[in-house]
Amino acid sequence: MNINATLLNYYQLCHRKMWLHYHAIRMEHTSEVVYEGKLIGEESYPFRADKNEELEIMLPLENEKVVLTAKIDFFDAKRGIVHETKKSAAKEWAHVAQVQFYLYLLQKNGVEVSHGVIEYPKLRQTERVTLGEEDVQRIEANIEKIREVLEQEQCPPKLPISKCKACSYFEFCWVGDE
C-alpha cells in the first residue's frame, strides 16, 4: 500500500475523497479549481526552479506492506527548507499537515531539514511550518488511521453538502441529490 502526501491531505479534508482517490476514482482532471492551483504553483515563482529542486521521496515502513511517498515541489537543500505553494484564499490545517508529512519523510530518510514554508500567493502571505515530537506522533497515528480507511471495502459516507462545494468530487458524490 502506498500512502502519499495527497492522501494525507485528503484525510484531513474528507475520508470519502481520500478513499475514492486511492481506489483510482480520480476527478481532479475535471476541476477548474485544481487546474487553477497548478497554474498558480507554476507561475507564482518562475525563477525558483533555478535554485531549488523538486524532490521525490519514499519511506518503506518496517514489517508492513506500506510505503510512504511524497513529491515535494521545491526543496532548498542548502537551507533545508520545504516550499509548498497553495492557491487557496484560506489557510487550512490540511496544508500544514501535508508540509509536516514532507518534513517527517525527509527526517526519517536522514535529510537535514529546518522547516517548511507554505506560500499563499492570493493572500500574499506565508506560513512557517515546523515538526515537533507531538506532530510526529500525530503523523504516525494518522498513517495507521489512513490505512484502516483505505482497507475498508465500502466507500466512507459523504460529508454535509456545505463542505463539498469546491471539491473536485462534488458532482460525483452529489449528482442526483438535493
| Rounded distance between C-alpha atoms, residue 163 and residue 161, angstroms | 5
pLDDT of 33 reads 52
SS3 118: strand
Residue ranges making up the domain that contains 52: 2-174
| Rounded distance between C-alpha atoms, residue 156 and residue 161, angstroms | 15
Q: Which residue has the higher pLDDT, 123 or 63?
A: 123
Query: Which residues, including other chains, have CB under 8 Å from residue 107's CB and lie 6 or more apart?
Result: 113, 131
CATH code, domain carrying 63 = 3.90.320.10
| Rounded distance between C-alpha atoms, residue 131 and residue 71, angstroms | 18
| Rounded distance between C-alpha atoms, residue 32 and residue 28, angstroms | 8
Q: Measuring CA to CA, which residue among 155, 173, 154 is closest to residue 164?
A: 173
pLDDT of 44 reads 54
pLDDT of 31 reads 47
Give me the number of domains the chain comprises.
Answer: 1
pLDDT 10s digits, 7-27: 999 999 999 999 999 999 887
pTM: 0.84
pLDDT 10s digits, 35-67: 454 555 555 555 555 555 678 899 998 767 889
pLDDT 10s digits, 128-160: 999 999 999 999 999 999 999 999 999 999 999
pLDDT 10s digits, 69-100: 999 988 988 999 999 988 777 788 999 999 99
